[in-house]
Chains A and B, each alone.
Chain A
Amino acid sequence: MAQSLAKQNRSRTAAIHLVLMVLSGFFMLPLLWMLSTALKPIEETMTQPPTWIPTRILWHNFSDAFTYGRDTLGYTPFLVYGRNTLVLCILGVAGTVVSNSLVAYAFARLKWKGRDFAFAVTLATMMVPFPVLMVPIYGMFKEFGWIGSFKPLWVPAWFGSAFAIFLLRQFFRSIPMELSEAAKIDGASEWAIYWQVVMPLAKPALAVIALFNFMGTWNDFLGPLIYLLDQKTFTLSLGLQVFQSQHGGTQWNLLMAASAIVVAPIILLFFFTQKQFIEGITMTGLKG
């Protein structure tokens, strides 16, 4: 009896593994196919049946995609796009961390009249879709003379976002109030408590919102599409789209190589920060 139960259990585990492996295949194949195509000569992208391992591995597809247009443009497009994206990410991440931690501190650690109402309003703003704001914000940035510069893409990050405020507030609240009280008795100002007590303890949560902002900036397409004008100021996402629309269907190997260039840093980042990633995403879903 016990033996057959164990056997049954084992076959169940085996079945689950089988299902998971098949599904893993479905999830990984597209990425592997991208890599495989990116390394092929162009003729081989169209052969039937297809090959998974290129007969000739062309590493230079990557450098070709990377430097495409250098001669006519006078600069290496993907390098420039990468630099622009990175600059935006740095400014955006810094702004997100600074502004949202301040605001979340007010919501989580201070008592004031109307706090809960203000917090409810803050949460409700998550429902406002960007398209409804797009036109007036565009008009506003026009008045500021900011269209064509990077400012529309990073300055707003310095003024808080509902989602990050929410995440940080949840985290700040889990830090025992006694720590603040004790510091206060020692004569610390709110600012000192924020900076010396709460912030050091909040590093994991800060890492999470930093990561999210980084991803968001790296991914953003609509923003750069409407605010950036000169090709020299494009981000990787926008640059890739231009690359795609200019190349249409044939240079699939180069297109996949270019696409991989945009994907790779994010995946790399993931492998270095797996823990924060998983924790962060976990945090977002809970306690809704």
Chain B
Amino acid sequence: MTLKEKKETRSALLFASPWVIGFCVFLAYPLLASIYYSFCDYSVLRPPVWIGLRNYTNLFQDEVFYKTLSNTAIYAIFALPLGMLVAIGLALLLNTKVRGLAVYRTIFFLPSLVPMVSLAVLWLWLFNGENGLVNIGLGFLGIKGPNWLSDPEWSKPALILLSLWGTGNAMVIYLAGLQDVPVQLYEAADLDGASPWDKVRNVTIPMISPVILFNLIMGIIGTLQVFTVPYVMFPGGSPARSTYFYTMYLFDNAFRYQKMGYACAMGWIMFVIILVLTMVSLRLSEKHVHYGGGA
């Protein structure tokens, strides 16, 4: 190593030191400690007691664990693709060079700025069975709206619908991606006599596929951790645990039931699920994601 390299490495270490500390203290240590605790009976107030695999064997027999897992999966399976569809759809509409783009963009984007707790409170009111705007609107169309908040069949759809309202964030990302697609590609497609739909399918989607993949992965990570909105809207995951999500159960185990080892085991299972899903998305996308020059 030359002197210059040595010097540069030293200053690099200095510059990176906040993150080195942050990584060790706020990530590596908790992650390792979490593994250890997941094999313990632990309640913070008392030292952890090693109990081997018991937390895990209990978890795999815990029906509420499966219930929250399936609730979360159902929510993710609908909310994620629907959200992406809406976001891409809006972005495509806005990308048609309509006038007033900035105004529309602002309108679609604004809801995604609403803080989660306000969002939850607002939609509690909108979904109210008697006086809520949603059912009033449905009534206007001659449909008798369901009891969104007290009917276990409708509580998850309510949350999914609500999540679509906040897709403006993703829409802006797609819009930026769309604007980067070279115009020549569309012109070439026009010469081939492609229909608008063909252009979307064969030009637009492949060109923005890296953005879609990135959003998908971040979406998976975020959706699996859904907490604040259902916690505020549906205390205890009511009605009949239909909105009891994974992170809510984890939180309850950790802080209400003082089963912190159990909570850590749940955390690790969640982490593994995220890892697997990310790997699978990356692997599956290899063939379909198009990394164009320059991007």
Interchain CB contact under 8 A, B228 and A288: no
CB distance from A214 to the nearest CB of B (A): 11
A153: Cβ under 8 A from any B Cβ: no
Q: Closest CB-CB distance, B76 to chain A, in whole Å?
A: 13
Enumerate chain B residues within 8 angstroms of A277, measured Cβ to Cβ.
109
Closest to A107 in B: B16
Do residues B22 and A160 form an inter-chain contact, with CB atoms below 8 A? yes
Is B165's CB under 8 angstroms from A136's CB?
A: no
The interface of chain A, by Cβ under 8 A from chain B, is 13, 16-17, 19-20, 23-24, 27-31, 33-34, 37, 45-46, 48-50, 98-99, 102-103, 105-107, 110-113, 115, 118, 122, 125-140, 142, 156, 158-161, 165, 190-191, 194, 215, 218-219, 221-222, 226, 236-238, 240-241, 244-245, 249, 252, 255-256, 258-260, 262-263, 266-267, 270, 274, 277-278, 281-282, 284-288
Could you tell me the distance in whole angstroms from the C-beta of B90 to the nearest C-beta in chain A?
A: 7
Interface residues of B (CB under 8 A from A): 5, 8-9, 11-13, 15-19, 21-23, 25-27, 29-31, 33-34, 37, 42, 44, 90, 93-94, 96, 98, 104-111, 113-118, 120-126, 128, 130-131, 133, 136, 165, 168-170, 172-174, 176-177, 180, 210-211, 213-215, 217-218, 221, 224-225, 227-228, 231-232, 235, 247, 250-251, 254-255, 260, 263-264, 266-268, 270-271, 274-275, 278, 295
From residue B44, how far is it (CB to closest CB) to chain A in Å?
6
Quick check: A135 and B254 within 8 Å, CB to CB?
Answer: yes
Pairwise interchain contact B260-A24, C-beta atoms closer than 8 A: no
Asked whether, in the complex, the Cβ of B108 is within 8 Å of the Cβ of A23, the reply is yes
Give chain B's interface secondary structure class: helix
Tell me the complex Cα distance, A215–B115, Å: 8
Q: Which 7 A-B pairs have the closest CB atoms?
A: A159-B22, A285-B173, A288-B214, A132-B267, A160-B19, A282-B176, A136-B33
Dominant SS among interface residues on chain A: helix
- Which residue, A33, A112, A284, A287, has most C-beta atoms of chain B within 10 A? A112
A194: chain B residues within 8 A (beta carbon): 15
Do B123 and A138 have beta carbons less than 8 Å apart? no
Q: Are B224's CB and A129's CB within 8 A?
A: yes
B263 close to A129 (CB less than 8 A): no
Pairwise interchain contact A112-B19, C-beta atoms closer than 8 A: no
Q: When A20-B98, A46-B131 are in contact, do A30 and B113 touch as well, CB less than 8 Å?
A: no
